[in-house]
Amino acid sequence: MMATRRDKAPMAITVFFRVQTKIEKMVDLTQIMDDEVFMAFASYATIILSKMMLMSATTAFYRMTRKVFANPEDCVTFGKGENAKKYLRTDDRVERVRRAHLNDLENIVPFLGIGLLYSLSGPDLSTAILHFRLFVGARIYHTISYLTPLPQPNRGLSFFIGYGVTLSMAYRLLKNKLYL
């Protein structure tokens, strides 16, 4: 059976309104850049991601200066065959930097996800900035206490402060904004 012009008109109108609704939602997304909480999150996320990237460079620096490598192909610059095998080893300093970097990955990734959702949920600006500053400060102090190394409980306290901040944002998000 063939569709008449009358049957096609409601379908065209429906498609038009769906497209218009999607465009309106996209316009709303551009307003995110005007939101102070989101911009604060973006600023602190940039700082903490830059710090995490610096940890990669620091690991590479320690590997090169101490001539300590994890893969045989990385040793070629310093020798071949049996001579290169002496560079395939572990070093306490390199491992310390690497463990600090791994700890960053375990903590910064959840902060980024939860922090993004939290910042988009319309929290109070001063409360949000407090969360972001505490997390970034705790992670920077954690790195300092890991690499120096400072005696415990310095590193442990900084870890739990950062972890607690992320949990606090998750709790506020679940309690106030999400429908469970």
DSSP codes, 97-111: HHHHHHHHHHHHHHH
The pLDDT of residue 133 is 98
165 pLDDT above the threshold of 80: yes
Cα separation, 80 vs 101, whole angstroms: 30
101 pLDDT above the threshold of 80: yes
Residue of 3 and 156 predicted with greater confidence: 156
Task: Name the nearest CA neighbour of 131 among 159, 103, 169, 158.
Answer: 169
User: What class is the 36-56+92-177 domain?
Assistant: mainly alpha
The pLDDT of residue 63 is 86
83 pLDDT above the threshold of 80: no
Name the residue ranges covered by the structural domains of the chain.
Answer: 36-56+92-177
The pLDDT of residue 3 is 54
pTM recorded for the entire structure: 0.77
The pLDDT of residue 27 is 44
Give the CA distances from residue 19 to residues 10, 14, 24, in Å, rounded to whole numbers and listed in that order.
Answer: 14, 9, 9
Residue of 128 and 27 predicted with greater confidence: 128
113 pLDDT above the threshold of 70: yes
Task: Kindly report, residue by residue over 114-154, the tens digit of the pLDDT.
Answer: 999 999 888 999 999 999 999 999 999 999 999 998 999 99
Question: Which residue in this structure is represented by tokens 């070629």?
Answer: 76
Q: What are the tokens at 120?
A: 């988009």
Task: Kindly report, residue by residue over 39-75, the tens digit of the pLDDT.
Answer: 999 999 999 999 999 999 999 899 888 888 887 777 7
DSSP codes, 104-168: HHHHHHHHHHHHHHHHHT---HHHHHHHHHHHHHHHHHHHHHHHTTPPTTHHHHHHHHHHHHHHH
Instruction: Tell me the mean pLDDT in the region 4-23.
Output: 56
Residue of 44 and 4 predicted with greater confidence: 44
